Homo-oligomer: A and B are copies of this chain.
Amino acid sequence: MAENNGEIKLFGVLGSPFVRRVQIALKLKGVEYTYVEEDLKNKSDLLLKYNPVHKKVPVLVHNGKPLAESLVILEYIDETWGNHPLLPQQPYERALARFWSRFIDDKCLPAISKAAWNVEKEEREKGIEESSEAIQFLENELKHKFFGGENIGFVDIVAGFLAFWLPVIEEASGFTLLSSEKFPKLHKWSEEFINHPVVKENLPPRERLLGFFKARHASITASK
């Protein structure tokens, strides 16, 4: 990029799907930034200063001004750097993209979390059912190569969790949610998404993530 973007810092942790959203968006826009790895067990004073409300990553700091919450940051990035638009151009399509992004965060992720990490087996089974119902809505919504059409857009970036993290969780936990029989369109989308060159170079190391999730699964199943 020829333009001067000012100083851009991103505070994150290696395995976070929320941080990766921001990294993929910045990369798609061609925006250079400095990445700062946080230790969530020993949060830095800077993180606590920049995100006193949630004390979480990602935090994007642009010319000293901090922003938290990945969906808020994605919209900021899209409004600040106009190339490779993430949201569609028309208000109605923009609204739908916001709706489905929020749906992923408010419905899909909590259901998947319940399916994978609830200590009660019965609750985990309920979680699988709820996840499947929620994912079905996304399957129906997928009408092109990507949610964003022919190019990766806002909803694709937000849904990235399903393409990369979910299969690792499935492997660690011994269940299958995103089968190619049940969700053929999402399955194909997942392949397209994780093999997109910008996405591919901005994913965490699979083996490390798998080790982390396997340990987590073992601790869950050991407790009941």
A interface residue numbers (CB < 8 A to B): 53, 62, 65, 67-69, 71-73, 75-76, 79-80, 91-92, 94-96, 98-99, 102-103, 107, 137
Contact = CB atoms under 8 A, between A and B. Distances in A.
Contacts of A137: 53
Contacts of A98: 69, 71-72, 75
A127 B53 CA distance: 17
Contacts of A53: 103, 107, 137
Nearest to A98: B72
Nearest to A96: B67
A168 to B, nearest CB: 27
Number of this chain's copies in the complex: 2
A75 B103 contact: no
A5 to B, nearest CB: 13
Main secondary structure of the interface of A (DSSP, over half): helix
A135 to B, nearest CB: 12
B72 A99 contact: yes
Given A53-B137, A137-B53, A62 B99 contact: no
Name, among A67, A71, A107, the residue most crowded by chain B CB atoms within 10 Å (CB to CB): A67
Contacts of A94: 75-76, 79
A92 B80 CA distance: 9
- Going nearest first, the 6 A-B pairs with the smallest beta carbon separation are A79-B91, A76-B95, A80-B91, A72-B98, A72-B99, A72-B95
